């Protein structure tokens, strides 16, 4: 099996799995309990919080655990808008965000907020001048993702943050770092809110986190208990939190080595553009994330090619898994290359992938694509 769908989810690391399993046997107590067993579990949660904070150069008390990236993004967008609605009603995002951000902004529009959506260029980048124009004294929130989940474009977050603060120092900047965390180096000084997820870094599903800079207000979306300082009540998913901390620890220790490995895998797979005519790179070929490669194959439907590759034991995607079962009017790829979305296939990698796997994928594509093109009506 060759698994090239790591932007959808990753295989849980063996060490993480062992850590989680052992903790499920011994760390079953409620971390809010006042007895010794509860205290021991709380210590492990605190340790995981510290590991995640150090990964982005934050303080532990700026990290809040959630059920995943979607909840984190929903909370960031809706929570900030509610907290600062008396200050202004303009919010800004871009047209290739993850659905958890896009749909949150649609909800804000229903609530009467002025939503400004920035278009991206043919490589997936926003126009900084357009961002500058969009931010005024009434702008309370800007959401721009760090690494795009479908085409791998890496936005200049440092510059974006600087431009926003120069125009309006009180405007909150939120960046979805689900595809960046543990893979690209992140510094929290370049954002007010950062959202991340465990299962993209070989941790378990069902847990994520938010970085909220001290002094930034985010209204609660949940109510009930005092967990996470009252911000996100409910008994913590302690097993998953501890495992996420371990996954983060491993990812950060290997961040440079993995970056180099996946770069070699991606570059090997890119050779298909020289082997077959009519293969196009969606996004930035040179500067995009090495963890994601999105290709369109002329005269071939992406979903058909996905299943052809599956027959060869190669697993890929046609886009975001979160919206794969939703009838989309327009795919992310169509925003950067109109008309190529239907023929797009996304290959996404982890540190466990190899150059040999990429070479096998190239050979499979060389065989499958010409075969599938024979069935195109002329």
Domain-embedded: residue 316:
yes
Domain containing residue 121: CATH number: 3.40.640.10
Say yes or no: 263 and 249 in one domain: no
Do 268 and 190 fall into the same domain? no
pLDDT-based confidence at residue 223 (cuts at 50, 70, 90): confident
Do 304 and 238 fall into the same domain? Answer: no
Residues 188, 244, single domain; the answer is: yes
Instruction: For residue 57, name the pLDDT band (cuts at 50, 70, 90).
Output: very high
Q: Are residues 319 and 237 in the same domain?
A: no
Structure confidence at residue 47 as a pLDDT band (50, 70, 90): very high
Residues 175 and 92 sit within 8 Å (Cβ to Cβ) = no
Distance CA 355, CA 122 (A): 28
pLDDT of residue 327: 57
Alpha-carbon gap, residue 144 to 104, rounded angstroms = 13
Q: Which of 171, 177, 248, 322 is catalytic?
A: 322
Quick one: tokens of 217?
């207000």
Task: Tell whether 33 and 90 lie within a shared domain.
Answer: yes
Give me the percent of the chain exceeding a pLDDT of 70: 96
Backbone angles phi, psi at 117, to 5 degrees: -110, 115
Strand-pairing partners, residue 92, are: 116, 142
Say which CATH number the domain at 290 has. 3.90.1150.10
Do 160 and 23 share a structural domain?
yes
Residue 66 lies inside a defined structural domain of this protein: yes
> pLDDT averaged over the chain?
94
Domains identified in the chain, total number: 2
Q: Is residue 106 part of a domain?
A: yes
User: What is the predicted pLDDT for the residue at 322?
Assistant: 54
Shared-domain flag, residues 39 and 136:
yes
Q: What is the pLDDT of residues 235-266, one digit of tens each?
A: 889 999 999 999 999 999 999 999 999 999 99
Q: Clarify whether residues 158 and 286 are in a common domain.
A: no
Same domain? For 162 and 66 the reply is yes
In-domain check, residue 116: yes
**Residue 378 located in a structural domain:** no
Q: Does 51 have pLDDT greater than 70?
A: yes
Tell me which of 210, 225, 253 is where a domain ends: 253
| 297: nearest Cα among 276, 316, 313, 268 | 276
Residue 143 lies in a domain: yes
Domain end (from 253, 275, 290): 253
Range of the domain at 167: 14-253
Cα atoms found within 13 Å of the Cα of residue 323, Cβ hemisphere only: 20
pLDDT digits (tens, 9 = 90+) for 138-195: 999 999 999 999 999 999 999 999 999 999 999 999 999 999 999 999 999 999 999 9
Q: 170 and 220 share a domain?
A: yes
CA distance 19 to 2: 26
Which pTM value belongs to this model? 0.95
Q: Same structural domain for residues 298 and 207? A: no
Give the mean model confidence (pLDDT) for residues 350-363: 98
pLDDT over threshold 80, residue 226? no
Active site residue 322: yes
Residue at a domain's end among 253, 269, 296: 253
* Residue 377 maps to a domain: no
Residue 188 is assigned to a structural domain of this protein = yes
């Amino acid at each position: 099996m060759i698994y090239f769908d790591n932007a959808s989810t990753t295989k849980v690391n063996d060490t993480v799995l062992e850590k989680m399993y052992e903790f499920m046997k011994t760390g079953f107590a409620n971390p809010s309990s006042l007895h010794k067993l509860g205290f021991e579990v709380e210590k492990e949660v605190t340790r995981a919080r510290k590991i995640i904070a150090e990964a982005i150069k934050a303080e532990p008390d700026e990290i809040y655990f959630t059920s995943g990236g979607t909840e984190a993004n929903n909370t960031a967008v809706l929570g900030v808008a509610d907290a600062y609605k008396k200050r202004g009603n303009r919010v800004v995002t871009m047209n290739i965000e993850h659905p958890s951000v896009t749909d949150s902004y649609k909800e804000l529009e229903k609530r009467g907020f002025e939503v400004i959506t920035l278009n991206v260029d043919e490589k997936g980048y926003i126009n900084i001048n357009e961002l500058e124009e969009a931010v005024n004294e009434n702008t309370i929130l800007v959401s721009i993702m760090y690494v795009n989940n479908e085409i791998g474009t890496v936005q200049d977050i440092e510059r974006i943050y600087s431009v926003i603060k120069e125009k309006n120092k009180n405007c909150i900047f939120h960046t979805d770092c689900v595809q960046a965390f543990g893979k690209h180096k992140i510094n929290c000084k370049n954002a007010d809110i950062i959202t991340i997820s465990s299962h993209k870094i070989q941790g378990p599903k069902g847990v994520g986190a938010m970085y909220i800079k001290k002094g930034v207000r985010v209204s609660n979306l949940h109510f009930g208990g005092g967990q996470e300082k009252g911000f996100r009540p409910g008994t913590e998913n302690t097993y998953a939190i501890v495992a996420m901390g371990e996954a983060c620890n491993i990812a950060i220790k290997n961040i440079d080595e993995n970056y180099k490995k996946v770069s070699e895998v991606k570059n090997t797979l890119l050779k298909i553009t020289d082997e077959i005519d009519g293969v196009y790179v969606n996004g930035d070929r040179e500067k995009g994330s090495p963890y994601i490669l999105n290709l369109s194959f002329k005269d071939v439907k992406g979903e058909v090619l996905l299943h052809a590759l599956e027959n060869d034991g190669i697993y890929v995607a046609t886009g975001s898994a979160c919206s794969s079962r939703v009838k989309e009017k327009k795919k992310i790829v169509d925003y950067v290359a109109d008309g190529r979305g239907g023929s797009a296939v996304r290959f996404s990698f982890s540190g466990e992938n190899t150059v040999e796997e990429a070479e096998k994928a190239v050979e499979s594509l060389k065989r499958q694509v010409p075969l599938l093109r024979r069935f195109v009506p002329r």
